[in-house]
Amino acid sequence: MADRRAPSWTYATRGVLWRVEAGAPGFLVGEDRSLETKEVSYFCLDRATGLPRWEGLVPIDRWWSGIEAVTGSVVLFHGYASPDMPLHRGITALDLASGSLRWQLPQARFLQVEGSAVVAAMGVGEIVRLNVETGAALGEGAASGLPSGHAPEARWPEPLVEDPGLDSAIRGTVPETALRESMLGVRGDAYCVLAYSERASSGTAEEPLLRTTLVLFGGPPWVPLYTEIVQGPARTVIPEPFFCQDGMLYFVKDRSMLVAVSLPTTEPMPGSSA
């Protein structure tokens, strides 16, 4: 299976790429944190090109904030009750395409998204349902179907089910020094993505360091199409180093670069048998 697969696009952050949210079909929203200066900003990428629709945006506090959810055409952010309390407080909704403010409720506390409604606590015992696009209060009988433009569900790595053909390809690709308990993958009809860790030579017996590698297989028959070291020597293993969604593999490299690679399909690609 001749296939010189390469990244479709990459996007580098200034600090640590802390989080990526994949709830919208056309966009990816991410969190860029500088651990040195204690500053956080956010970005939104076009899925097709990896180009930013907006970046460096600080919707609320410069450090004490986070992404709550991405749904419909908005991204929801939260603040905190206080720096020493992890309780979320406030809901700020930005337009996904432009980054402009849609609505804001500083005293609300996000609970969950129910279709096209945001369920929030406004005080002790007071629960309200809000239109996710406008923030307007919804009546008890208001419809709350799925928001428009919901992305296909992302698939996250998990232990792989045994498969003789795939197992043989993995044994021929993954070194024997790999930590078997670290192996996690996602299996599709024509692809399998596997991540594994092994001890790095720069570590010591007292302070072992781990290196994490990602391999994309196409098949069956299964052969490796793309390999990338996603984390150099580190003390801990990345818990969820990648996800697959809507025909693409997304992973974070060295904690500061988002990489997108197209996944093989059951249809032959021009110039290859993938």
Residue range 191-206: mean pLDDT, rounded: 87
The answer to whether the bond into 220 is cis (omega within 30° of 0) is yes
Q: What is the predicted pLDDT for the residue at 274?
A: 43
Residue range 125-153: mean pLDDT, rounded: 75
Q: What is the predicted pLDDT for the residue at 76?
A: 97
Residue range 194-201: mean pLDDT, rounded: 91
Q: What is the predicted pLDDT for the residue at 3?
A: 56
pLDDT band, residue 201 (cuts 50/70/90): confident
Q: What is the predicted pLDDT for the residue at 144?
A: 54
> How far apart are the C-alpha atoms of 254 and 207, rounded to whole Å?
20
pLDDT for residue 145 is more than 60 = no
Longest dimension (CA), the chain: 63
Q: What is the predicted pLDDT for the residue at 77?
A: 97
pLDDT for residue 178 is more than 50 = yes
pLDDT band, residue 271 (cuts 50/70/90): very low
At residue 172, φ and ψ (nearest 5 deg) are -80, -10
- Per-residue pLDDT tens for 19-30? 999 888 889 999
pLDDT for residue 158 is more than 70 = yes
Give me the domains of the chain, ranges plus CATH numbers.
Answer: 23-131 (2.40.128.630), 164-262 (no CATH)
The answer to whether 45 touches 32, Cβ cutoff 8 Å, is no
Q: What is the predicted pLDDT for the residue at 125?
A: 79
pLDDT band, residue 131 (cuts 50/70/90): very high
pLDDT for residue 96 is more than 90 = yes
Residue range 183-193: mean pLDDT, rounded: 96
CB atoms closer than 10 angstroms to residue 201: 8
* Range in 4-18, 219-233, 254-268 the model is least confident about: 254-268
SS (H, E, C) the chain: CCCCCCCCEEEECCCEEEEEECCCCCEEEEEEEECCCCEEEEEEEECCCCCEEEEEECCCCCCCCEEEEEECCEEEEEEEEECCEEEEEEEEEEECCCCCEEEEECCCEEEEEECCEEEEEEECCEEEEEECCCCCECCCCCCCCCCCCCCCCCECCECCCCCHHHHHHHHHHCCCCEEEEEEEEEECCCEEEEEEEEECCCCCCCCCCEEEEEEEEECCCCEEEEEEEEEEEECCCCCCCEEEECCEEEEEECCCEEEEEECCCCCCCCCCCC
Q: What is the predicted pLDDT for the residue at 200?
A: 84
pLDDT band, residue 6 (cuts 50/70/90): very high
Average pLDDT, the chain: 89
> How far apart are the C-alpha atoms of 75 and 92, rounded to whole Å?
8
The identity of residue 38, as a single letter, is: K
As given in the structure block, the two tokens for residue 50 are 């990896």
In the beta sheet, which residues pair with residue 109? Answer: 121
Among the listed residues 217, 224, 175, the one whose alpha carbon sits nearest the alpha carbon of residue 200 = 175
Q: What is the predicted pLDDT for the residue at 150?
A: 61
pLDDT band, residue 85 (cuts 50/70/90): confident
